Amino acid sequence: MSSNHNKALAAWLFAVAALIFAMIVLGGVTRLTQSGLSMVDWKPVTGWLPPMTDSDWQTAFERYKNFPEYEKRNLGMTVEGFKSIFWLEFLHRLLGRFIGVAFFVPLVVFWAKGWIGRKLAPKLVVLFVLGGLQGVLGWYMVKSGLVSRPDVSQYRLAAHFGLALLILGPMLWVALGLIRPVQPTAGEGVSKSLRQGAKALLGLVCLTALSGAFVAGLDAGFTYNTFPLMDGKLVPDGLLDLSPAYLNFFENIATVQFDHRILAIGTVLAVVFYWLRCRAQALTDRQRRAVNVLAMVACVQVALGISTLLLVVPVPLAAMHQAIAVIMFCVAVWMVYEFRAPGA
């Protein structure tokens, strides 16, 4: 396959990855503005059209009024108010459909042209299947907020976010492999511990991001809005109030926020320590650049996280905090790719 074909495939995958990033950010804004439960039906084929007439809007609003969010959170809302939350969720779902088309149509075209080799084809098929599963999981998440409590399950929210990262990370890896398939000879002397350290950092970034999803799902950012203390203490009371004990890590607001704080601080410290180690190593320009960017993004992220907490979760800051979390994940994937073993 020619290098031009590889570059075209990589550009396509990077573009789809950018759309997925936008989808994650828009999903965060939808959740922060409490718009995600405004569409109470899932119509994967016909749902790309919004209500077109006043009658259609009234019908959609009447459907919404039958579910807990209206009764417990938006009682007395008008149709105009309903439209304000409906449009964000509609755009979120529409973008998801567009991503599916943006992936599938070029996939078919490139496959027909013979640009997709035997090694690449299974990877792209798996990514497409995961994308379809993400749509199903998104509706499964929304359904959890249409039963009794007008909030989606934190478990399903974390799974939805985690699957998005599971799609985004491999997509970036495949794209990078198309434009830089061979490890440069410079940097072959990088120690095994540095390579393992890069992978460990990626795992830590993922774990911290997923813990943030539990914070979001429980609205835990609206409590303990001080730093570094929580309720005047480094370790707040009630961390193990729930039984069995493991439930505290997923359902206890104090524990979930405490864990996210510890993981976030630990991640930043680990990134800085790794950056200091790398300064004395004979790295390639790309390797050094990836480490430097990760360190910079990590510092920005912790500052955003603290600011979001202290200001009691303003939507712009909270959305930016989630966006930078995804950027940090992408940079960590890039760093691991640059530190992969020669010939891998």
Q: Residue 293 carries which side chain, given as an amino acid letter?
A: V
Beta strands in the chain (DSSP E): none
Longest pairwise C-alpha distance within the chain: 69
| Separation CA 21–CA 26 (nearest Å) | 9
The set of residues, in sequence order, having a beta carbon less than 8 Å from that of 43 and lying 6+ positions away, is none
Residue 313 phi, psi dihedral angles, 5° rounding? 55, 60
Decide: 51 and 342 in contact? Cβ < 8 Å: no
Using 50 as the pLDDT threshold, list the residues of the chain that sit under it: 186
Could you say which DSSP state residue 74 is in? -
The pLDDT value recorded for residue 186 is 44
Q: What pairs with residue 233 in β-bridges?
A: 230
Question: How many Cα neighbours within 13 Å face the side chain of 296?
Answer: 8
Tokens of residue 183, six digits? 């490890």
Query: Is the peptide bond prior to 170 cis by the omega test (within 30 degrees of 0)?
Result: no
| Separation CA 65–CA 235 (nearest Å) | 42
The pLDDT value recorded for residue 44 is 76
Decide: 134 and 159 in contact? Cβ < 8 Å: no
The pLDDT value recorded for residue 150 is 85
Q: At what angle do helices 120-143 and 79-113 cross, to 10 degrees?
A: 170
Decide: 267 and 205 in contact? Cβ < 8 Å: yes
Residue 233 phi, psi dihedral angles, 5° rounding? -135, 150
Decide: 187 and 287 in contact? Cβ < 8 Å: yes
Q: What pairs with residue 230 in β-bridges?
A: 233
The set of residues, in sequence order, having a beta carbon less than 8 Å from that of 56 and lying 6+ positions away, is none
Decide: 295 and 269 in contact? Cβ < 8 Å: no
The ranges assigned to domains in the chain are: 1-181, 186-344
**Residues, the chain, total?**
344
How is the chain split among helix, strand and coil, in percent rounded to 5?
70, 0, 30
The pLDDT value recorded for residue 343 is 59
Give residue 280's Cα distance to chain centre: 33
Residue located via tokens 């926020």: 257
